[in-house]
Structure 1
Amino acid sequence: MDGTDITTMQGEEGASGEEQGNVPDEETRICNEAGAILLKGGSGLRIAGWTIRTKKCTILKMDEVERWGQLLDTTHLPEMVFGDSSLELKHEATGIKIHFNALDGLRGWKKEGLPPVEVPAAAKWKFASKPSQQVILDYDYTFTTPYCGSENLEPCGQTSALSVRDGSAAERNAEADSHPALEWVECEEQIDLVSLQQRDPILFFDEVILFEDELADNGISLLTVKVRVMPKCWFLLLRYWLRVDGVLMRLRDTRVFSKFSSDPKEVPVVLRERCVKEDTFQSLASRGYPKDAGAYADPSVAGNRLQTKLIISEKLVLRR
């Protein structure tokens, strides 16, 4: 699965973003044949016991930035944080909910606390607004995060409000020890590439940006999640992409996959693959690759050249 992008297997011919009543007849027919019901507003669909939806909103306003700074105990946030944007996949019969949001992603950044990337031009491009002050790089300004998603259990039939600004995954999952719990465990099972490579119609596709920072035009730090739903399965890619021009690149991909069961009340099999890659521009040049940052505009292309640091396969387990 290493290096595979969610958009490269079949293209992006997903839902058009319209209400079910306004969706083209052909698309409605395909969804009906698959037993899927499109959600109003083109925000997602229900299929095989799953409700899958996205929410895309504007960036945080100044007062919200201040509140997030208090929540995260920081005075630093990415230039663009899409605080209310999210992707949510809920299995109605079991209450399993897998979701992705910027707040939990930035909590991961704070917890990991990597040292700042040393950039010779940092004094010029990161602190240009305060030229008289001493330059101190005392935080990871790339916002590198180990975040690979959030999960929790909700009572069956409970409707979820997609807003995540006032709580973390851990807070929402604070349950008594006697309650069922979700856990990711390492496994030998792999994501079913055969299912993904079949020419099945795409019932729904969407991409959600969670946060982005252009590093003062000296690179990019970007956290996004893409989802694709077919008649037999769903698949998503959470990607953290960092390029500090002339210095280094990081790619942290999390791929999650679930094949639909014939019985929507069964506990679903959800597989996750985490892949971490990193390399310096100097190392790439020594191996004959271009040193120009323009050659690495596409993270999928860059990922094929970066050194792999970690690959882990996991399965989501519901412990009762």
Structure 2
Amino acid sequence: MPVSGTGPPVIVNGLRQEQLPTFLALHKIFNLGLCCILARELLPLVEIGFVSGEEGFWIVLTAIRYIMEVDHITDGEGQENVVTDEARIRKEAGAEMLKGGSGVRVGGWTIRTQKLTILKMDEVERWGQLLDTTHLPEMLFGNSSLELIHEATGIKVHFNALDALRGWKKEGLPPVEVSAAAKWKFASKPSQQVILDYDYTFTTPYCGSECLEPCAQTSLPTGRDKSAFERNEDGAALPTLDWVECEEKIDLATLQQRDPILFFDEVVLYEDELADNGISLLTVKVRVMPKCWFLLLRYWLRVDGVMMRLRDTRVFSTFGADPSDVPVVLRERQMKEDTFQSLASNGYSTDAAAYADPSIAGERMQTKLLKTEKLVLRR
């Protein structure tokens, strides 16, 4: 899709209105080629937390989307500058894009995202019955998901809002206290009395879902319960998946290499603005390179003037020499939390506007949990 050097730049899907001035300023100062170089250099650092700043991330993301969606650009004199040769890169990596650009097949893995609109009213009511609650996030993307399937073993790691909210229900945290002046904002009617007797922040311990799909290696029966207690015809227990704590760490050196990005996407699972008292947001981002894939599941909470929570789950796997081998999948879980009062005592700002970027906020919060686990296939 050509972009004229004299006409307005093409803005790809996903760029928010408030981010346009920053991108346009960058586009005006630098040419698109430099934007793409910036993206390749900074994206690995942004996703593993070495570079922060919401605007910086969206500039990088926009440039990446140009790389993925624009075949070439034409300058004012009509000369074509090739931005990227996606077909050549995919061929060298042995990768195949899925239909509609929804994912990629590479290294024995099929990785795809699905992004749909928020649930309709009847769907929300059905979810309320499933979860036994009348309280759900304002924006619930119940049909959006990310899934990663290892074809030879049937290992499937996936992320969805329903399982995340099941985690919210199970954890059952007490509601975060807000001032009486702020509590009225939760009422749908001025005369309505509000009793916050549930965790209205939708904080979840969710760090992903996993299961085994039917395949030759696992010999799982189709259409049956694959629980750990089910047994096959010989009486032997069927294969299961378990996360086991380990000493291994995610290979940051591999993530920082300047490898081409075969696929990148972000999926919002749910979001709630807490009646204008802050933000509760659950998202998952995935990045696929020729040697590995990496994803970040992030739950971010800011209750203005009260407290903040950041729960990050990073999952990483390298592609083995033999795609039929059981893959090594590592998961790093990190939980951070702090109050605005505690931040003030340490000399930090208590202005909510200073914490629009969860990466910046995370640098100032106390770490409550940090551990690494490995996914083990038990046969």
Length-normalised TM-score, structure 2: 0.75
Q: 1:44 corresponds to which letter in structure 2?
A: G
CA distance in 2, matches of 1:40, 1:28: 15
Q: Within 5 Å, which residues of 2 pair with 1:93-242?
A: 93-120=152-179, 121-127=181-187, 129-156=188-215, 173-174=226-227, 176-177=230-231, 178-242=237-301
Tell me, yes or no, if the aligned pair for 1:258 and 1:269 is still in contact at 8 Å. Answer: yes
Aligned to 1:167: none
Q: Deviations over 1:147-198 (max 9, x none)?
A: 00000001128xxxxxxxxxxxxx9753615110000000000000010011
1:280 aligns with 2:348: no
Q: 2:328 corresponds to which letter in structure 1?
A: V
Q: 1:125 corresponds to which letter in structure 2?
A: K
Aligned to 2:68: 16
Tell me, yes or no, if the aligned pair for 2:184 and 2:194 is still in contact at 8 Å. Answer: no
Q: Within 5 Å, which residues of 2 pair with 1:28-43?
A: 28-43=87-102
Count the aligned residue pairs: 300
What residue ranges of structure 1 are gaps of 5+ in the alignment? 19-23, 158-170
Aligned to 1:5: 47
Q: Which has the higher contact order (CA 8 A, sep 6+)?
A: 1
CA distance in 1, matches of 2:353, 2:226: 43
Tell me, yes or no, if the aligned pair for 1:251 and 1:299 is still in contact at 8 Å. Answer: yes
Q: 2:248 corresponds to which letter in structure 1?
A: E
Q: 1:190 corresponds to which letter in structure 2?
A: K
CA distance in 1, matches of 2:106, 2:125: 39
Tell me, yes or no, if the aligned pair for 2:49 and 2:359 is still in contact at 8 Å. Answer: no
CA distance in 2, matches of 1:215, 1:137: 12
Aligned to 1:268: 327
CA distance in 1, matches of 2:273, 2:196: 17
Q: Compared with structure 1, are the counterparts of its residues 246 and 139 closer, same or farther at alpha carbon in structure 2 (3 Å cutoff)? A: same
Q: Compared with structure 1, are the counterparts of its residues 85 and 63 closer, same or farther at alpha carbon in structure 2 (3 Å cutoff)? A: same
Tell me, yes or no, if the aligned pair for 1:237 and 1:256 is still in contact at 8 Å. Answer: yes
Q: 1:310 corresponds to which letter in structure 2?
A: L
Q: 1:316 corresponds to which letter in structure 2?
A: L
Tell me, yes or no, if the aligned pair for 2:249 and 2:330 is still in contact at 8 Å. Answer: yes
Structure 2 residue matching 1:29: 3-state secondary structure: helix
Tell me, yes or no, if the aligned pair for 1:44 and 1:52 is still in contact at 8 Å. Answer: yes
Aligned to 1:59: 118
Aligned to 2:312: 253
Which stretch shifts more, 137-146 or 148-157?
148-157
Over the aligned positions, Cα root-mean-square deviation in angstroms equals: 2.1
CA distance in 2, matches of 1:225, 1:302: 18
Which stretch shifts more, 27-36 or 108-117?
27-36
Q: Compared with structure 1, are the counterparts of its residues 173 and 57 closer, same or farther at alpha carbon in structure 2 (3 Å cutoff)? A: farther
| Correspondence for 2:149 among 72, 90, 95 | 90
Deviation, 1:8, is 6.3
CA distance in 1, matches of 2:68, 2:125: 36
Structure 1 residue matching 2:296: 3-state secondary structure: strand
Tell me, yes or no, if the aligned pair for 1:6 and 1:236 is still in contact at 8 Å. Answer: no
CA distance in 2, matches of 1:272, 1:119: 34
Structure with greater proportional helix content? 2
Tell me, yes or no, if the aligned pair for 1:17 and 1:42 is still in contact at 8 Å. Answer: no
Q: 2:68 corresponds to which letter in structure 1?
A: S
Q: 1:16 corresponds to which letter in structure 2?
A: M
Deviation, 1:134, is 3.5
Deviation, 1:313, is 0.5
Structure 2 residue matching 1:256: 3-state secondary structure: strand
Tell me, yes or no, if the aligned pair for 2:226 and 2:238 is still in contact at 8 Å. Answer: no
Tell me, yes or no, if the aligned pair for 1:17 and 1:43 is still in contact at 8 Å. Answer: no
Q: 1:93 corresponds to which letter in structure 2?
A: A
Bigger-Rg structure (1/2) = 2
